[in-house]
Chain A
Amino acid sequence: MTEATVTGGERVAAAFAAARDEGRAALMPYMVGGFPDARTSAAIAGAYAESGADLVELGIPFSDPLADGPVIHAAATRALAAGATLDSVLAIGERIASAVPVVPMVYANMILARGPGRFAQLLVEAGAAAAIVPDLPLDEAGEIGAELHAVGIPLVPLVAPTTPAERRREICRRAEGFVYVVSDTRVTGERDELPDGLAELVGAVRGEAPVPAAVGFGIGTPDQAAAVGRIADGVIVGTRLVRAVAEADGGDAAVGAVGGFIHAARASMAEAGRAVG
């Protein structure tokens, strides 16, 4: 198969399969595109790809990110002040897109501002593999979902601990790419321990969805990543890495910090292996 005929969905599936073949979960670090500035952000993306990310979740800065906690909101605000736009952030993703599948996370209003058809086209041009729209539940996916589907880019659905079983089954049945399991009802931030019921929830999703289940929200240490990786197909690390960038003394330090964390998390995950098939 030539590169041009590989859809985003196929690239996502291949990334999860490759990790599984190595006996571990896929690691998907999140970054706020354009934070703290375009140049550093591009270096951070490169570090993600080189340090062992299996996929990269690329946050597109939005003025009112309802699903994000204060650390990511503050980073988005700073990225916007530094001039980040949908196009400039997708361009950052494009630089690593041949090395690792890039999954933009973008709020609905930014998609509507462009028009869903045009947005889908922009993702294709930037080589994106899938998309996450955190404020677009199943019932509202409509035109945005259809336009992305038409170009082979999965719209990744979210499942929360509060999602009733019947609704969860419907979300999973229709899922493309992977299912993003929100591990707690708390907004994105870091947690000390894995929440009760997470293993059961992930187990249910894995049984009900035709695609892998990745867990996000609140994973802050390599040990936690390893613990989640034993029960899930993918591990998403967000706030922890954004905070590392925010606290780093300069761009080089930021790049070093995130690269170190990703490297360590992947090593822990490989060592811990998996408790599920």
Chain B
Amino acid sequence: MAAVGERAVEGRFGPYGGRYVPEVLVPALDQLSVAWAEARDDPEFRGRLDELLRDFVGRPTPLYRAERLGHLLGRRIYLKREDLAHTGAHKINNAVGQALLACRMGKRRVIAETGAGQHGVAVATACALLGLECVVYMGVEDMRRQAPNVERMRLLGAALAPVEAGAQTLKEAVSAAIRDWVTNVRTTHYIIGSAVGPAPYPALVRDLQRVIGDEAREQALAAEGTLPARVIACVGGGSNAIGTFYAFIEDRGVELIGVEAGGEGLDGRHGASLVAGRPGVLHGALSSVLADDQGQILEAHSISAGLDYPGVGPEHAQLRDSGRARYEAVTDADALRAFRELARLEGILPALEPSHAIAWLLNSAEASAQAAASAEGYDLVCLSGRGDKDLAEALAALGDLDD
């Protein structure tokens, strides 16, 4: 594996990770590993990225004390406001970083997959900013349920490539993007949208998302003088979660909790690859996946397009096995209620993805009403994105729920 001295980009996380890809991609992954190992230590690259994160993305994002939610839960709760980043989600951190890297590698054509459309919008935005050609693969079902983001991507000058295979959601969009990359690897950089895929992507995406946790840890210490008791984030592919967790991994007293899509419940259709998956290879990495006994990958299901994926980043599988982080699942219905609750309590419309993290807090407070109120410390939640994109879908589903 390509490596630059001791600062090689990790390719394995315990047994997980690796590069299970067609041979044709291996040299491009080698090149990407080397490019990233060099770029992340290059003060000029770092300086340019930091400047864009500050002036274009709007970082640092605030750490907001959610008083009314905290009152309801009987605990102090802080929200890391990635919903306030440019384009409305944490995805922009990765998109801007990788688009800059593409320029550095001399690749002027960029491709991406998207589920919720947030990553697609972020990549289209970064490509507009840097003058790169952009093609976004998106499942037809996701184009339907995330229609506003489809329009945004087109306005930003990206070409949309509808994907009609399979369930027409994120898994097929990733496959289609990888196929494009196999075909055009010499001219094209693939900006994958989460901490998944063949090495070096899981480490690369984490390195670009760790700004969330680095900022949040400092902000939390400034506000409270101590570290949070619990850090909570939703997990689709796992990029906002690993970005948030990473700064706290050595802080042994801080509990790390990842919340997956429980969909209709774990005995029905869901997207809980860590809670209910098995070891397997999907999209180039060994991780925890939803698959049958034959090794066929199963379709995931979630109300939230960004969590509707049968795999997860390999570093989360390692964190789960080591016990450093724990993962739980929250149903569609609970996420929808949390979506509405946060809007009413805090004046914040969260995306359906982080609504899962909020829902976990609401559920756990209910489960231990007394204990929660008296437990020491405070919680920090990554509010990974805003909910405008989900309005139509969420309102319709809430209507059904209330009937």
Interfacial residues, chain A to chain B (CB-CB below 8 A): 62-64, 66-67, 69-70, 73-74, 77, 80, 85-86, 107-114, 134-140, 157-164, 167, 171, 182, 185-187
CB pair B24–A160 under 8 Å, yes or no, is yes
CB distance from B293 to the nearest CB of A (A): 7
Count contacts between A and B, CB distance < 8 Å: 115
* A109-B281, A112-B295 known; A140 vs B182 contact (CB < 8 Å): no
Q: Which of B156-185 contact A (CB under 8 A)?
A: 165-166, 171, 175, 178-179, 182-185
CB pair B296–A63 under 8 Å, yes or no, is yes
* A63-B296, A64-B297 known; A185 vs B279 contact (CB < 8 Å): no
Find the residue from B21, B178, B185, B283 having the highest chain A CB count within 10 A.
Answer: B21
Q: A62-B296, A67-B182, A112-B279 are in contact. List 12 more A-B contacts (CB 8 A).
A: A63-B297, A64-B171, A66-B179, A108-B281, A109-B20, A135-B281, A137-B23, A160-B27, A164-B27, A171-B23, A182-B24, A187-B179
Can you list 7 A-B pairs, Cβ within 8 angstroms, ordered by A? Answer: A67-B22, A135-B281, A135-B284, A139-B19, A157-B23, A160-B24, A185-B24
Partner of B22 from A64, A113, A158 at Cβ < 8 Å: A158
CB pair A111–B295 under 8 Å, yes or no, is yes
CB pair A66–B21 under 8 Å, yes or no, is yes
CB pair A109–B282 under 8 Å, yes or no, is yes
Whole-angstrom CA separation of A67 from B281 in the bound complex: 14
* A73-B165, A112-B281 known; A66 vs B22 contact (CB < 8 Å): yes
Q: Does B1 make an interface contact (CB < 8 A)?
A: yes
Q: Does B280 make an interface contact (CB < 8 A)?
A: yes
> Which residues in A have their C-beta under 8 angstroms from that of B283?
64, 66
CB pair A112–B182 under 8 Å, yes or no, is no
Whole-angstrom CA separation of A140 from B286 in the bound complex: 11
> Which residues in A have their C-beta under 8 angstroms from that of B182?
66-67, 185-187
CB distance from A218 to the nearest CB of B (A): 11
CB distance from B190 to the nearest CB of A (A): 12
CB pair B294–A108 under 8 Å, yes or no, is no
CB pair B295–A109 under 8 Å, yes or no, is yes
CB pair B19–A137 under 8 Å, yes or no, is yes
CB pair A66–B296 under 8 Å, yes or no, is no
> Which residues in B have their C-beta under 8 angstroms from that of A80?
296
* A140-B19, A186-B183 known; A112 vs B24 contact (CB < 8 Å): no
Partner of B20 from A70, A140, A158 at Cβ < 8 Å: A140
Q: Which of B17-44 contact A (CB under 8 A)?
A: 18-28
